[in-house]
Amino acid sequence: MSDEKVIHAFPANELPENLMAIEPKPAGAPYFCDHPAVRLNEHNRTINCAKCGASLDPFNFLRNEARTIQRAWENHRAAQQKVNELNARIEALTKEEKRLRAQVKRLQEKSGEVLQVRGRSIL
C-alpha cells in the first residue's frame, strides 16, 4: 500500500487544542459523599445530605434504601441457611461421635484391654 492512497482527516500539526480542564480536589474535601445522614424537610418535602448539604432526589433515596434493605434480608437469609447447615453437620457429627464412643467401649469390654486413642486411654 502506498502513502498516496491514505487520506488524513487531521494533519499531525493541525489538531485542535484541548479545551477541557479538570479542577483539582480542594484540600480536605472528600471525592464522593455517600450521604451517611440526611435531613428531611417535611414542609418543603425535600431530602438534604446533613454532611455536604446536597439536595437528594426523594425517589432515588427511597429506591437506594429499599435496595439496601433487600440486600440485608438476602444476606440474613443466606447466613441463616448456612447456620442451619452447620447445625445439621454438628448434630450428625455428635451422633457419629456417640456411636464411635459406644463402639470403642464395647470393644474394650470384649477384649478387656484399654485402647490407646491419640495417645490417651479411653475408659
Tell me the backbone φ, ψ of residue 60, rounded to 5 degrees: -65, -40
Per-residue pLDDT at 54: 87
Residue type, 108: Q
Average pLDDT, the chain: 81
Contact assessment for residue 37 and residue 51, using Cβ atoms and an 8 Å cutoff: yes
The pLDDT assigned to 120 comes to: 58
pTM of the predicted structure, to 2 decimals: 0.52
Maximum separation of any 2 CA atoms in the chain, in Å:
104
- Over 70: is that where the pLDDT of 106 sits? yes
**Mind listing the pLDDT tens digit for each residue in 53-92?**
888 888 988 898 899 999 999 999 999 999 999 999 999 9
Hey, what's the cell of 105? 467401649
Average of pLDDT values for 100-123? 74
SS (H, E, C) 51-95: CCCCEECHHHHHHHHHHHHHHHHHHHHHHHHHHHHHHHHHHHHHH
Looking at residue 88, its pLDDT comes to: 95
Q: Quick one: pLDDT at residue 105?
A: 87
- What nine digits make up the cell of 51? 454532611
**What pLDDT is recorded for position 14?**
63
Question: How far apart are alpha carbons 104 and 117 in whole angstroms?
Answer: 10
**Alpha carbon distance 50, 38 (integer Å):** 5
pLDDT band at 13 (very low <50, low <70, confident <90, very high): low
